[in-house]
């Protein structure tokens, strides 16, 4: 089903919640700060619910389709969470070495009640995303102060990266929310000495790192918090031992799981281990230098997709002010900002920079991985605005200050955030979606399909066909375009897929035009080995002839 936007019932529910919150505030049942936080959470939820029923055809379509396949296979084939499986590498089993499937498995549980629907996967991501907004609020309130915390939450609620990624069927919303929660609870433990908070920090941290390994970068800001706060406590050596043991226990399941994931990748086709091949040790120095460490691509993604230029400037202002404050305090001058953990978010960005240094190609190829940086960017941007407003209003938060703050956020949304989101929502894989639906109608359960998509390697058509099959060129050929450099090998590969049981071949219309022009022998082979069943403006479908030539 195509996206139809927010349905009227959802709008009514949101309106009822808002009215209830405001009514409670009027009756003085909740504090002003709680009222502000609740409104931010409702707005954040509403933004993420936009087009919740959109199929997985947007900018991150291929990754979402793969996650959706894994959830589908848990639902229909093998419910064991340790065996994530896709449909795009033959009859199977096609288990993959992937991150622990927190998001896809939760979606599967809901499938068993409501049946399989695209909006369920998005909803799981939204729940984690909204929780992440709350967790960031709590972390900022503990590390800095309660006045900057709501503004940080507001940025997290409306940044394009947050809104779009946290309504996408990806592991990243869960990873970011869990790791932010873990850091919040760890700081809470350091300030309160309550062992329960340390245990909860370890559990959420372990699940967050299992959900996706990049979450481990919060270890650097956690270490900073430890160095600052632990010496202020009695018996710091004993506490350090307890913290160290908790950290080791947290890492054990993470290490064991990813060793298991590596084993799956080695044993089963398509022998895929998530994230492999794009790290600094996999990329030639000539490519890194030739691409200037992918910095141009990084800026384009940051400015046009994830955060916008104004937010990047605000982040630099917030970062610089904290460094200046720390330096002034170090020299025993009067600091400009008197926070208990002033550098916790700068250290978060430094950890992200280290991550980029070793995984630049992986990050720019799969930009949802940058989302682990978004909480720090939200907090530092909020701090920059807070500094300006405090100077203007002599450090007092007045109704005028609140109005100016709201105006700035609305301006940022109007001039940048919404434009970025429009780019991200664009249906880049809609032709593949339509092709998949038509293949489902024409084929029978058990049929095998081959798809040649507008973006080579895109599995969206196979997912929506609800059949198993192959993307072409197939995954085992390495880079998607390598096979096409040798037309004879490309023909042999197509013949092999047919011999392994392929029944149908669906081709994006524009890709067909290119193939027929650039690979005439491959096109002739397809035409001789199959019969055209349907030609559409968006796709062409062939059925392989019976028998093997």
Q: How far apart are CA 255 and CA 213, in angstroms?
A: 10
CB neighbour class for 3 (10 Å; exposed up to 12, middle 13-18, buried from 19): middle
> CA separation (Å) from 165 to 129, 134, 144, 356, 368?
9, 17, 27, 19, 7
Q: Which two tokens stand for residue 97?
A: 């070495």
Instruction: List the alpha helices (DSSP H) in 366-468.
Output: 374-392, 399-412, 418-425, 430-442, 460-465
Q: Looking at residue 459, what DSSP letter applies?
A: -
Q: How far apart are CA 7 and CA 59, in angstroms?
A: 23
Whole-model pTM: value is 0.89
Residue 129: how many CB atoms within 10 A of its CB? 27
- Between helix 520-529 and helix 509-518 the angle, nearest 10°, is 120
Cis peptide before 128 (omega within 30 of 0): no
With residue 469 as reference, give the H or E element that holds it: strand 468-471
Predicted pLDDT at 548: 52
> CA separation (Å) from 286 to 69, 355, 384?
36, 20, 39
Phi, psi of 307 (to 5 degrees): -130, -30
Q: How far apart are CA 519 and CA 80, in angstroms?
A: 42
Contact 543, 504 (CB under 8 A): yes
The residues pairing with 542 across neighbouring beta strands, listed in sequence order, are 505, 532
With residue 534 as reference, give the H or E element that holds it: strand 530-535
- Burial call 9-43: b when 16+ CB within 10 Å, e when fewer: eeeeebeebeeebeeebeeeeeeeeebbbbbbbbb
- Between helix 172-192 and helix 219-229 the angle, nearest 10°, is 10
Per-residue pLDDT of the chain (549 residues; tens, 9 = 90+): 444 444 444 554 555 555 555 565 555 666 778 878 888 898 889 889 888 889 999 989 989 999 999 999 999 999 999 999 999 888 878 999 999 999 999 999 999 999 999 999 999 999 999 999 999 999 999 999 888 898 899 999 989 889 999 999 999 999 999 999 999 999 999 999 899 999 999 999 999 999 999 999 999 999 999 999 988 888 888 889 999 999 999 999 999 999 999 999 899 887 878 777 777 777 777 777 777 888 888 998 888 888 888 889 899 999 998 888 777 776 665 555 678 899 999 999 999 999 999 888 888 888 899 999 999 999 999 998 888 777 665 555 555 555 566 666 666 666 667 777 888 888 888 999 999 999 999 999 999 999 998 888 889 999 999 999 999 887 654 555 666 677 888 888 899 999 999 999 999 998 888 889 888 899 999 999 999 999 999 999 999 997 655
Q: Which two tokens stand for residue 263?
A: 């084993």
Predicted pLDDT at 417: 75
> CA separation (Å) from 460 to 72, 386, 455, 533, 538?
13, 44, 10, 21, 14
Predicted pLDDT at 21: 58
Cis peptide before 93 (omega within 30 of 0): yes
Predicted pLDDT at 172: 96
Q: How far apart are CA 451 and CA 445, in angstroms?
A: 17
Predicted pLDDT at 401: 58
Q: Looking at residue 457, what DSSP letter applies?
A: T
Which residues fall within 8 angstroms of residue 501, CB to CB, at 6 or more apart? Answer: 90, 91, 448
Predicted pLDDT at 477: 46
């Amino acid at each position: 089903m195509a996206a139809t936007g927010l349905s009227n019932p959802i709008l009514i529910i949101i309106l009822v919640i808002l009215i209830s919150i405001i009514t409670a505030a009027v009756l003085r049942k909740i504090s002003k700060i709680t009222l502000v936080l609740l409104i931010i959470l409702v707005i954040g939820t509403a933004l993420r619910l936009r087009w919740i029923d959109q199929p997985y055809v947007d900018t991150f379509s291929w990754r979402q389709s793969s996650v959706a396949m894994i959830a589908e296979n848990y639902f229909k084939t093998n419910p064991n969470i340790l065996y994530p499986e896709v449909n795009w590498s033959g009859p199977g089993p096609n288990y993959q070495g992937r991150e622990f499937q927190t998001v896809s498995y939760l979606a599967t549980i809901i499938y068993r009640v409501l049946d399989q629907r695209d909006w369920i996967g998005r909803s799981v991501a939204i729940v984690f995303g909204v929780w992440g907004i709350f967790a960031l609020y709590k972390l900022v309130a503990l590390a800095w102060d309660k006045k900057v915390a709501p503004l940080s939450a507001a940025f997290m609620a409306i940044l394009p990266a947050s809104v779009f990624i946290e309504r996408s069927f990806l592991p990243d919303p869960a990873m970011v929310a869990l790791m932010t929660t873990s850091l919040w609870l760890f700081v809470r433990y350091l300030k309160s000495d309550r062992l329960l908070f340390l245990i909860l920090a370890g559990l959420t941290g372990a699940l967050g790192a299992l959900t996706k390994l990049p979450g481990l970068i919060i270890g650097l800001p956690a270490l900073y918090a430890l160095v600052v706060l632990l010496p202020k406590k009695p018996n710091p050596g004993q506490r350090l031992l307890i913290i160290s043991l908790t950290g080791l226990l947290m890492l054990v399941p993470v290490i064991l799981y990813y060793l298991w994931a590596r084993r799956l990748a080695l044993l089963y086709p398509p022998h895929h281990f998530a994230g492999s091949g794009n790290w600094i040790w996999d990329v030639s120095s000539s490519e890194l230098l030739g691409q200037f460490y992918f910095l141009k691509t990084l800026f384009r993604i940051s400015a046009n997709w994830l955060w916008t230029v104004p937010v990047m400037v605000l982040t630099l202002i917030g970062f610089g002010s904290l460094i200046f404050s720390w330096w002034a305090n170090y020299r025993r001058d009067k600091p400009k900002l008197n926070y208990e953990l002033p550098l916790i978010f700068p250290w978060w960005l430094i950890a992200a920079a280290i991550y980029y240094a070793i995984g630049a190609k992986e990050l720019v190829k799969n930009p949802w991985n940058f989302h682990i940086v978004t909480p720090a960017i939200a907090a530092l941007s909020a701090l920059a605005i807070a500094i300006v407003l405090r100077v203007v209003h002599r450090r007092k938060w007045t109704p005028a200050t609140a109005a100016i703050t709201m105006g700035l956020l609305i301006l940022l949304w109007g001039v940048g955030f919404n434009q970025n989101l429009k780019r991200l929502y664009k249906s880049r894989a809609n032709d593949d979606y339509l092709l998949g639906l038509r293949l489902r109608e024409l084929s029978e359960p058990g049929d095998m399909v081959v798809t040649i998509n507008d973006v080579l390697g895109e599995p969206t058509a196979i997912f929506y066909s609800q059949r198993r099959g192959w993307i072409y060129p197939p995954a085992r050929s390495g880079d998607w375009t390598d096979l096409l450099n040798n037309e004879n090998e490309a023909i042999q590969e197509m013949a092999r897929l047919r011999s392994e049981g392929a029944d149908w071949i669906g081709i994006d219309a524009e890709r067909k035009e290119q193939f027929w022009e650039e690979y005439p022998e491959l096109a002739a082979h397809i035409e001789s080995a199959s019969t055209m069943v349907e030609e559409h403006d968006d796709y062409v479908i062939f059925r392989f002839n019976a028998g093997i030539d």
